[in-house]
Chains A and B, each alone.
Chain A
Amino acid sequence: MTKTTIPVHLDINGRHHDLQLEPRVTLLDALRDRLGLTGTKKGCDHGQCGACTVHVDGERVLACLTLAAQAEGRTVTTIEGLAREGEMHPVQAAFLEQDAFQCGYCTPGQIMSAVACIREGHAGSDDEIREYMAGNLCRCGAYPHIVAAVRQAALEAAS
């Protein structure tokens, strides 16, 4: 198979990157293998676990099912881009405070999903949080604390 590469220009966490990639490279692989942004995790690589959740133009999507080339001209935010001037994002702080993880592998995806969930207005009750966080699996089963963290961050955002 020919290794044809194409130029791909990506805006990630406010920084511009010029890459040469095979067209088949997913946004997830570009982030992790080419840009060293390994905060975004590869879980199933098939769109079922949510570990690779990032924001494209402010909306949560799965980096494993997005081609890097498709993200050109869009604004990408990863877990590395959430903190502001050394201050944790309120959702990150809430996850720490509520002990909302065990092994931590799903956590970046959970947090990116939670930030979007709150912004979408889908964090009004525990049931709604569970429902709209259902695309992020946690094999350790930290769900009760994850819901508590999202609830806490949503309340803080509302106040």
Chain B
Amino acid sequence: MRDFSYVRANSLAAARQAAALPGAMLLAGGTTLIDLAKCGVAEPETLVDITHLKGLDRIEMNERGATIGALARMSRVADHADIKIHFPAVSEALWQAASAQIRNMATIGGNLFAPAPYGDFAVALLALDATVGTDDGQTPIETFLANRDGSRAVVTSVSFTLPKADSFRFLKVSRVKPKGVSVLSIAAVLELSSDGTVTSARIALGCMADRPMRARAAEKALIGRTLTADGIAPALAAAGDGISPITDPIASAWYRAEVLPVHLGRLLLA
């Protein structure tokens, strides 16, 4: 691993200041960043360790929604009593990520920066239309993800409104089940009318670009349709619209594009 300088931030302001140094990157759980630095993929000149900042690991969840501190670790969120009561699907989505050790290290804030094929939880957060809190203010997650590379802001929290009961779905597809690296992941929030037709749909995809993306054409094609094989056919046909899947040792871009409609179909018909 190329050497770098190390700065331990003792306040948000100090973190922000250090993050502005040339070649500086923020270090949280390190599960992706240290690994990528070892491979020479990430070449930080300075690592700004924010794991000693206080108060950024709070987890609050009630019947309206959740606010999760950026430094809350995946295991803590997955095991949090209020999350399990109000939104167990979040626990289940997190449980599918990596190993117990990694989940003890990886933070919710860090997940927003994980390049594909990592960052499946950010896919869930994108479907949930989460809001990312930074020392600069609140940003919709989609905007945040689009601008994350140049971002010098320090993420402090992620919040989202609890979706209607049973409207959230999450699927992670991996060859080693369920903990392997993703072939792809899909999260969706689907609202249905009393006759079973889709009234609103938000679908987020993982591994279909270098970061989580919305499947807007598929979302549009679902409105007014029922969740049946015939009903979802137009959505599946549109699933690949605008995607640019990654190629890695797990799967090629071609394969990922081929199986996306298959897995989206399974998610929608589940």
Contacts of B47 in A (CB 8 A): 23, 67
Instruction: Find chain A residues with CB under 8 A from B254 CB.
Output: none
Does B85 touch A at the CB level, under 8 Å?
Answer: no
A17 is an interface residue with CB less than 8 A from chain B: no
Q: Does residue A134 face the partner (Cβ distance < 8 Å to B)?
A: yes
CA distance A141 to B8 in the complex (A): 41
B229 within 8 Å of A by Cβ?
no
Contacts of B185 in A (CB 8 A): none
Name the 10 nearest CB pairs between A and B, nearest first: A135-B99, A23-B6, A65-B34, A135-B101, A59-B104, A24-B1, A24-B3, A62-B101, A60-B101, A61-B105
How many of chain A's residues touch chain B, expressed as a range?
Answer: 35 or more
Q: A24-B3, A65-B35, A66-B105 are in contact. List 17 more A-B contacts (CB 8 A).
A: A3-B3, A4-B5, A6-B6, A24-B1, A24-B4, A50-B101, A59-B104, A61-B101, A62-B101, A62-B105, A64-B34, A65-B31, A69-B6, A70-B27, A116-B100, A135-B98, A135-B99
The answer, yes or no, to whether B191 is at the interface (CB within 8 Å) is no
Q: List 12 A-B contacts (CB under 8 A).
A: A3-B3, A4-B5, A23-B4, A24-B1, A47-B35, A50-B101, A65-B105, A67-B30, A69-B8, A113-B101, A135-B98, A135-B99
List A residues at the B interface (Cβ < 8 Å): 1-4, 6, 22-24, 26, 45-47, 50, 53, 59-62, 64-67, 69-70, 72-73, 113, 116-117, 120, 122, 132-136
Which B positions have Cβ atoms within 8 angstroms of A? Answer: 1-6, 8, 27, 30-31, 34-35, 37-39, 47, 49, 51-52, 75, 98-102, 104-105, 179
Output the nearest chain A residue to B6 by Cβ-Cβ distance: A23
A23 lies within 8 A of B5 (CB): yes
CA–CA, A24 and B49, complex, Å: 12
Contact: A46 with B35, CB < 8 Å?
Answer: yes
Asked if residues A70 and B30 are in contact (CB atoms below 8 Å), the reply is yes
**Chain A residue at minimal CB-CB distance from B105:** A61
Whether the Cβ atoms of B104 and A1 lie closer than 8 Å is no
* A residues near B6, Cβ cutoff 8 Å: 6, 23, 67, 69
Name the residue among B3, B4, B51, B99 with the largest chain A CB count within 10 angstroms: B99
Q: How far is the CB of A61 from chain B (nearest CB, A)?
A: 5
A69 lies within 8 A of B49 (CB)? yes
In the bound complex, CA of A6 to CA of B6 (Å): 8
Residues of A within 8 A of B39 (CB): 46
